[in-house]
Amino acid sequence: MKSGRSIKKKRLEGFGRRVASRLLALLASRHPVRNGTLDKHSIKRAVVVRQHNQFGDVMCTIPLLRALKTRLNLAELAVVASPQNIDAVRGCKYVDRIVNYDKLAFYKTPSLFLKFVKDLRRDFDLLLVPSNVSMSLTNDVMAFIIKAKTKIGPKSLEDKPNKTGGVYNIALDLQWKGGITHQSHRNMQVAFPLGIDPAKESDELEYDVDGQLSDEVSAFIDTAGRKSQLRIAIHAGAGKAGNRWNVWNFAKLSELIHDSLGAELYFTDGPFDHKIVDDLTNLIKIPFVRVRDKTIQFIAALLRQMDLAITNDTGIMHLSAAVGTPTLSLFGPTDPLQWAPLGSKHRFIFGKKGDINSIEVDKVMNIVRKLATKSKS
């Protein structure tokens, strides 16, 4: 049961959001850009606000960032990100500058917030606010603060109006019905007025790995591993319980992989995955390497040196695909046509009626064999 203090805090935050929304709606005025008046050749400096949503959602923004940087020949592309998802864009070679929206740090050190606002007030030619899952009042507030000649963002999302959409001088009705399916494509739709068509752009993810970290990971593998000819990473965790394949299934799969393929297994283990990986490692009697509490950059470098990665639907799935490692992803309640990694080297399995635990171990193992054979051919 929630305490009276937490209920009051939630009500106060809700009241504050309503006041901010109404005030922003009053301050903002829409100045529609007429057809033909948007000169994309004059755009040299752009900023994308992507501070909300989860790590995987933001990873799916990479195709948009690539299209903006390359199609518009930008001199500078900046991204506003939060501490929860900032690592999703740190490995994106198309981003020149990251502005960290760290609310907790701002509360503790107000001078950091003033510096943040100053960073936002730099002159940009273009501001973009992609919205693939939900809209954000915070994004609209930033869009109002940022100095940019052209501001593109959501007027509505799936028929839900954006009450503060007046901050954009090109406000779009974003609709996915009967058309754009994958989240990478949905992120790109906000750039349609710039002549960027999701159907004509590459939708595969990219993530650059630091050379020094690659050397560090190689040393880690040499020390911890068995120098097997086949290395397979398994990520058994996921932020949502419904997205997690049962740990008993992962244990059985791990033993099958070891016994039939002689593969060396690497269990990746983030801060919220300790209990799951503890249970997994207690169930098996085979050699393994546990990769615990490493940075996202380290995990990216490690995944790049794997022959195959097997994951639930979670952020590591996107990271694995982005570094080019063949990735087999397991899906339950979420739609793989929206979220599964795109590209010919990746595969997914969708549980019956959205139940991830309806996926049979033998079915996963059959695909593992095929992918492992391809990676070594």
What mean pLDDT, rounded, does the chain reach?
A: 88
Is the pLDDT reported for residue 21 higher than 60?
A: yes
What's the whole-number mean pLDDT along residues 349-362?
96
Burial class of residue 210, CB neighbours in 10 A (0-12, 13-18, 19+): middle
What's the whole-number mean pLDDT along residues 351-365?
96
Residues in the chain: 377
Say whether 80 sits in a helix, a strand or coil. Answer: strand
What's the whole-number mean pLDDT along residues 246-265?
96
Condensed to tens digits (0 to 9), the pLDDT of residues 84-113 reads 899 999 999 999 999 999 999 999 999 999
| Phi and psi torsions of 84, nearest 5° | -70, -25
DSSP string, 149-205: EEEEEEEEETTEE-TTGGG-SEEEEE--TTS--SHHHHHHGGGGGGT--GGGS----
Domain boundaries, the chain: 32-200, 211-376
Is the pLDDT reported for residue 29 higher than 80?
A: no
What's the whole-number mean pLDDT along residues 242-261?
96
Token duo for residue 234: 């398994």
Residue, of 284 and 226, whose pLDDT is higher = 284
Among residues 93, 122, 313, the alpha carbon closest in space to that of 209 is found at 93
- Tell the CATH topology of 32-200: Rossmann fold (3.40.50)
Query: For residue 6, what pLDDT is reported?
Result: 60
Partners of 98 in the β-ladder: 79
Is the pLDDT reported for residue 34 higher than 50?
A: no
Amino acid at 204: E
Fold matches, 32-200 and 211-376: yes
Total-model pTM: 0.89
Token duo for residue 118: 């100053």
What's the whole-number mean pLDDT along residues 145-170?
91
- Rounded CA separation 50/58 (Å): 7
Q: Are the beta carbons of 74 and 95 closer than 8 angstroms?
A: no
- Rounded CA separation 346/181 (Å): 18
What whole-number percentage of the chain has pLDDT above 70?
Answer: 87
Condensed to tens digits (0 to 9), the pLDDT of residues 183-241 reads 999 999 999 999 998 888 988 899 999 888 899 999 998 888 676 779 999 999 998 99
CA distances from 8 to 16, 104, 227 (A): 12, 20, 57
Query: For residue 33, what pLDDT is reported?
Result: 47
First to last CA, the chain: 57
> Could you tell me where the beta strands, DSSP code E, fall in 194-263?
231-235
Domain 211-376: which CATH number of 3.40.605.10, 3.10.20.30, 3.90.76.10, 3.40.50.2000:
3.40.50.2000
Among residues 353, 261, 362, the alpha carbon closest in space to that of 307 is found at 261
Residue, of 83 and 36, whose pLDDT is higher = 83
Q: Are the beta carbons of 78 and 47 closer than 8 angstroms?
A: yes
Q: Are the beta carbons of 147 and 169 closer than 8 angstroms?
A: no
Q: Are the beta carbons of 151 and 170 closer than 8 angstroms?
A: yes
What's the whole-number mean pLDDT along residues 20-34?
58
- Rounded CA separation 188/184 (Å): 7
